[in-house]
């Protein structure tokens, strides 16, 4: 597995861990005691706003830890160099991610248009963000393996 693929796999695993841990934390800390919070817009706003910086910092920290461990095991330095192929793959993956998130956004708005509860919209937005992130990273691995 080449360096870039390793980094993508790490990002993929990190995304799963961070999302899983944060969801578990929010559920046990708030929702387990008061399920009524699901219909509180302020709760959702806080959940989203806290998640974004937490996810960014956690990704950076986990990547640094992986870089150190990988360096010790393989005695190779991870390179951040990205050339035209890397950029093309990145662009294609972002395009897929955007289309998926747009589809999720439309579903979320559709849920409100047909009068569903607000929590359905927020859950759909979270799910589409998560799925688009996973598919985007998976698409990168696919393009690196199969060609672009």
Partner 1 sequence: MSNKIKIGKCVISNNIRKLRFNANEMTQQTLADKTGVTRQTIVAIENEKYFPTLELAFRIAHVFNTPLDDVFVFSITAPVE
- Binding residues (CB under 8 A) for partner 1: these are 2-4, 79, 81, 83-86, 144, 146-148
Residue number with CB closer to partner 1 (7 or 132): 7
Place of tokens 């870039």: 4
How many whole angstroms separate alpha carbon 57 and alpha carbon 75? Answer: 26
Least Cβ distance, residue 84 to partner 1 (angstroms): 6
CB of 63: closest distance to partner 1 in angstroms? Answer: 18
Cα separation, 10 vs 28, whole angstroms: 26
Query: Can you tell me the distance from the alpha carbon of 81 to that of 73, in angstroms, rounded to the nearest whole number?
Result: 21
Residue with smaller CB distance to partner 1, 30 or 144: 144
The strand ranges marked E within 7-143 are none
Helix, strand, coil share (%) of the chain residues, nearest 5 = 85, 0, 15
Cβ proximity to partner 1: between 5 and 117 the closer is: 5
Cα separations (Å) of 46 from 26, 53, 72, 133? 11, 12, 39, 21
The distance of closest approach from Cβ of residue 40 to partner 1 in the complex, given in angstroms and rounded to an integer, is 49
Cβ at position 67, least distance to partner 1 in Å: 17
32 vs 84, which CB is nearer to partner 1? 84
């Amino acid at each position: 597995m080449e360096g870039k693929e390793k980094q993508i796999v790490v990002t993929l695993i990190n995304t799963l861990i961070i999302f899983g841990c944060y969801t578990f934390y929010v559920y046990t800390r708030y929702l387990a005691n008061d399920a009524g919070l699901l219909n509180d817009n302020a709760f959702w706003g806080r959940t989203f706003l806290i998640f974004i910086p937490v996810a960014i910092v956690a990704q950076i920290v986990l990547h640094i830890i992986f870089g150190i461990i990988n360096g010790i095991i393989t005695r190779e330095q991870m390179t951040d160099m990205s050339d035209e192929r890397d950029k093309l793959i990145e662009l294609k993956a972002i395009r897929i991610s955007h289309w998926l998130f747009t589809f999720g956004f439309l579903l979320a708005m559709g849920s409100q248009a047909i009068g569903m509860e607000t929590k359905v919209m927020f859950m759909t937005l979270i799910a589409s963000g998560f799925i688009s992130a996973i598919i985007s990273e998976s698409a990168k691995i696919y393009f690196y393996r199969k060609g672009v």
